[in-house]
Amino acid sequence: MLSEEIKKRMLQAMKSGDTLEKEILRVALGEIQTQEARASKAMSDEEVAAVLRKLVKNNQETLGVSERAEQKDQLAKEIAILESLLPKALGVDEIVAALAPVRDAVKAAGNDGQATGVAMKHLKSAGAVVTGKEVTEAVKRLRAG
């Protein structure tokens, strides 16, 4: 499980003395444990990945408004650590290829929003890791061509 991987990486960081990695992984684990306590159940890998993506997004927003160079450098390193834990998301070309079985349904949809819904349903049922931005771009390519 992804949360076990985070714990292992945190232990390695503690042993190697990598305080930055140890601290950001500790924050991630704390967030995961808080949400598990609220839900009274263990989180799935998909839910853990959502927590990690939220932390990445928060750090990216802070990075955008940060003025100090050292803070920007630290945030960039934290983002890299968190992203290294996330499953690799498919690119636009890979998404277009994965949508081949539902190409006609995507083209037949009433508008781009409905087409994106068809695409997301297919991709999620196939277990693909995707972002909405890439799916939207892939749908536009399919509908145009």
Q: Residue ranges per domain, the chain?
A: 2-85, 92-144
**C-alpha–C-alpha distance, residues 145 and 66, integer Å:** 41
Question: 144 falls in which pLDDT band (50, 70, 90)?
Answer: confident
Is 90 exceeded by the pLDDT of residue 60?
A: yes
**Residue 25 burial (10 A CB sphere; 0-12, 13-18, 19+):** buried
pLDDT band at 138; cut points 50, 70, 90: very high
**pLDDT tens per residue, range 65-121:** 999 999 999 999 999 999 999 888 889 999 999 999 999 998 898 888 899 999 999
User: Which residues contact residue 93 at a Cβ distance below 8 angstroms, ignoring those fewer than 6 apart?
Assistant: none
Whole-model pTM: value is 0.71
Phi-psi region of 22 (alpha: psi -120 to 50; beta: other; left: phi over 0): alpha
With a cut of 80, say whether residue 145 has pLDDT above it.
no
Closest to 98 measured CA to CA, from 143, 49, 138, 140: 138
Provide the 3-class DSSP secondary structure of residue 144: helix
pLDDT of residue 45: 87
Instruction: Decide if 22 contacts 77 (C-beta within 8 A).
Output: no
pLDDT in tens, 3-39: 999 999 999 999 999 999 999 999 999 999 999 999 9
pLDDT, residue 140, reads 92
Q: Which run of H or E residues covers position 79?
A: helix 69-85
Where does the pLDDT of residue 1 fall: very low under 50, low under 70, confident under 90, or very high at 90 and above?
confident
Question: What is each CA distance from 91 to 88, 133, 136, 138, 145, in whole angstroms?
Answer: 9, 10, 11, 9, 18
What CATH superfamily classification does 2-85 receive?
A: Uncharacterised protein YqeY/AIM41, N-terminal domain (1.10.1510.10)
